[in-house]
A and B are shown apart, each in its own frame.
Chain A
Amino acid sequence: MRKSSRTLVALVLMLGLATLSGGAAAQSAAKQPIVIAVPVGLSGVNSVVAPAVVQSAELAVEELNAKGGIMGRPVKLIPLDDESGPAGAVKAFNTAIRQHKADVIITMETSAARNAGAPIADRAKALFIYTSFYEGRACGKYLYVNAWVPEQIVSPLVKFMTNEKKVKKWFVLGSDYAFGRGLIEPAKKMITQLGGTILGEEYQPLQQSDWTAIISKIRAANPDGIMYATSGGGPNIDFMKQFKAAGLKMPVGSLSIDELTAEQGGNAAEGVYYTADYFTSIDSAENKTFLEAMKRKFGANLKTPNSLSEPEYDGIHAYAMAVEKAKSTDADKVAAVLPTIVFKGPRGAVQMNKQHHAPLPVYLAQVQADGKTKIIQSFGLVDPGNQCPKLK
């Protein structure tokens, strides 16, 4: 091609591209998607429950987009892997905020991951709705929690085991990190308050799956009952499998198990008692619609919704309502209205109005022989207590 022709072609191409991108920019300003990032434990200890969390998020986003999105803008979901830990969380949060320009982070994570990621969200002034149950007292201007804290589920479980199962001598154990220790702490307080004694208290590194040493200590101490708090997911089953294989039979209360993990473990967790705010057997119209929609969308791939994954659905809808009310995605404006939002979902009416935390309905349940969970008692709406007294 002659030099002048090449220049002409180049000029034409450039003009064409400029027009296209200019047009695209004009279009996208109006329809720019609202980006919801979900950094979650796709690998690591949370990997059993992470797919369920992503499914909840996908259904919520699909429902929002079916109604035209939020403020007419389509909603885009970005799941990321935080590797269930701090190193992965730092990577995932930075990717979400810098690369994907996320408007909000709504996710369930291990406390280790959350403690690493939350400061990143805070510095970037990104709203962070934490949808996982956890040890409590995590506070931030832009951090909101719509899942349970120990004040809501520990005392019903301890009271039940003390009164109904006659447990006076306890052995408590857990995974050695914020959540494990943070759940056992209030459990111990409640136990001593009710007149029980703690025969032993042991913790194990988070990724360690061999509970032999602790199980031998339990056998030596011979308690009436066990209270444990590993991380969510796999470690619950590791411990229960080894506990049962060692021939130990005393009643076990779990502060870290959920319906999906129990099911995945077959009969490993049979007999375990636990309290939570969401179960698939909750008898409400919203829950029925939710479960039907999940079954329709995911069919055979559906991961049983549970107390670690359902709040994700609630959280995304609450955020959508807050953005519509604030008429903006600006974190300060949305955070201002978020405590006034009441979302009536599968758990009932949830409002994050108590120092960025939410009063929640609590039930007591027991894992059956086939891994499924049966609700035994209902405690009504339980207050989260003073989680963040410095925030209003």
Chain B
Amino acid sequence: MYTTQLLDVVTTAGVLYIVAVGLLVVYGVLKIINLAHGAFLAMGAYAGVLTTWAGWNPWTALLLAVVMGVAVAALVEWRVLRALYARPLDTILATWGLNIVVVQILTLYFGREIHFAESAIAQPISVAGVTYSQYRLVLLLIAVVLGGLVWLMMQRTHIGVVAQAVIMNEELAQALGINTRFVRFVTFCLGAGLASLAGALLTPLVSVHPNLGVPWLINAFMLVLVAGVSLGNLALAALVLGGAQVLVSSYGNPVLGSLTIVILAVIILRFRTVTI
């Protein structure tokens, strides 16, 4: 019983981390909340649907999702967002507009009804004496790998170090000759690509519909608010808040569980004295 709960907690944290990391990256560098994050999640999920229709290996959905996400993000950043950076609130509004447009295009093309995508892994696996969903464990692994890759990118690559400079103080970075425009471009594309990837990874767990991203966006938003810009903090937040949701759902009921992340996030933000 406790093994299952522990597995539930860590795998839920893993899923939340994967969904939120794209939002965090954009928040850290561009200082805006990408409200189109949910739309990119949906887009990635539909990549999974397309892969099923084409009869390809379900893993190719991940690649297709990233390509689609990055392509759309690149176009939008270049043509729309770049002109609005001087007005951050308008930039956020633009991402909300992007959200509406993407969701409606998905609705026009796929219809409003629910679609199902093929799972790469559908069988259970036996671990520590319990039969558990293999896919959820794989997602946990992917979360760790993804987190590690993003961290490596930030610490060890040129663009990553430069991005950190932009996170710390954009004006100073610009004064030092860093091409902040390029950094913002790459970051937005990365954030969208991560969101689409997350969407494609979600499809074996949920049914696909144009508004799939909405509940996830809310939870990811809460996590990012609590975590700030640190990847490590995000992992911690995912564990604590996600874990709380699982425990409340298990010992209480799922209706209360769905409120847990939001309520906890509000409490943490209210009482936190250190700003990140």
Interface residues of A, Cβ cutoff 8 Å to B: 42-45, 47-48, 50-51, 81, 176, 202-205, 207-210, 212-214, 216-217, 219-220, 233-235, 237-238, 241-242, 244-248, 264-266, 268
Residues in A neighbouring B124, C-beta threshold 8 A: 244-247
- 12 extra A-B contacts, CB within 8 A, seeds A42-B113, A205-B258, A219-B130: A51-B113, A208-B215, A213-B249, A213-B254, A214-B249, A219-B131, A220-B1, A235-B207, A237-B207, A245-B134, A245-B204, A264-B116
**Do B209 and A245 have beta carbons less than 8 Å apart?**
no
Chain B residue, CB-CB nearest to A216: B4
User: How far does the alpha carbon of A135 sit from the alpha carbon of B1 in the complex, in Å?
Assistant: 34
Interface residues of B, Cβ cutoff 8 Å to A: 1, 4-5, 8, 11-12, 107, 111-114, 116, 118-119, 121-126, 130-136, 204-207, 209-211, 215, 246, 249-250, 253-255, 257-258
Known contacts A219-B130, A247-B133: A242-B205 contact under CB 8 Å: yes
Q: How far is the CB of B18 from chain A (nearest CB, A)?
A: 14
**Do B215 and A47 have beta carbons less than 8 Å apart?**
no
**Do B205 and A210 have beta carbons less than 8 Å apart?**
yes
Residues in A neighbouring B123, C-beta threshold 8 A: 245, 247
Q: How far is the CB of B217 from chain A (nearest CB, A)?
A: 14
Closest 5 pairs between A and B when the two form their complex, measured CB to CB: A247-B124, A247-B131, A213-B249, A47-B113, A234-B114
**Do A213 and B246 have beta carbons less than 8 Å apart?**
yes
Question: Which of B4, B123, B136, B249 has its CB near the most chain A CB atoms (within 10 A)?
Answer: B249
Q: How many A-B residue pairs have CB under 8 A?
A: 112
**Do B113 and A48 have beta carbons less than 8 Å apart?**
yes
Residues in A neighbouring B132, C-beta threshold 8 A: 246-247
Chain A residue, CB-CB nearest to B7: A216
Residues in B neighbouring A205, C-beta threshold 8 A: 254-255, 258
User: How far does the alpha carbon of A248 sit from the alpha carbon of B133 in the complex, in Å?
Assistant: 10
**Do A47 and B114 have beta carbons less than 8 Å apart?**
yes
Residues in A neighbouring B136, C-beta threshold 8 A: 212, 245
**Do A209 and B116 have beta carbons less than 8 Å apart?**
no
Chain A residue, CB-CB nearest to B124: A247
**Do B206 and A210 have beta carbons less than 8 Å apart?**
yes
User: How far does the alpha carbon of A278 sit from the alpha carbon of B72 in the complex, in Å?
Assistant: 45
Chain A residue, CB-CB nearest to B245: A213
**Do B114 and A245 have beta carbons less than 8 Å apart?**
no
Chain A residue, CB-CB nearest to B210: A43
**Do B4 and A207 have beta carbons less than 8 Å apart?**
no
Chain A residue, CB-CB nearest to B214: A207
**Do B207 and A242 have beta carbons less than 8 Å apart?**
no
Q: How far is the CB of A294 from chain B (nearest CB, A)?
A: 18
**Do B112 and A203 have beta carbons less than 8 Å apart?**
no
Question: Which of A202, A212, A235, A266 has its CB near the most chain B CB atoms (within 10 A)?
Answer: A212
**Do B4 and A219 have beta carbons less than 8 Å apart?**
yes
User: How far does the alpha carbon of A50 sit from the alpha carbon of B111 in the complex, in Å?
Assistant: 11
User: Which of A43, A202, A216, A233 makes the CB contact (< 8 A) with B5?
Assistant: A216
Q: How far is the CB of A251 from chain B (nearest CB, A)?
A: 17
Task: Report 30 cross-chain contacts, Cβ distance below 8 Å, ordered by A residue.
Answer: A42-B112, A44-B112, A47-B111, A48-B113, A50-B113, A81-B112, A202-B254, A203-B254, A205-B255, A207-B215, A208-B258, A212-B12, A212-B136, A212-B249, A213-B246, A213-B249, A213-B250, A213-B257, A216-B250, A235-B207, A244-B122, A245-B122, A245-B136, A245-B204, A246-B124, A247-B123, A247-B124, A247-B125, A266-B116, A268-B116
**Do A238 and B255 have beta carbons less than 8 Å apart?**
no
User: How far does the alpha carbon of A353 sit from the alpha carbon of B107 in the complex, in Å?
Assistant: 41
Q: How far is the CB of A89 from chain B (nearest CB, A)?
A: 16
Residues in B neighbouring A42, C-beta threshold 8 A: 112-113
Residues in B neighbouring A50, C-beta threshold 8 A: 113
Q: How far is the CB of B98 from chain A (nearest CB, A)?
A: 20
User: How far does the alpha carbon of A241 sit from the alpha carbon of B121 in the complex, in Å?
Assistant: 11
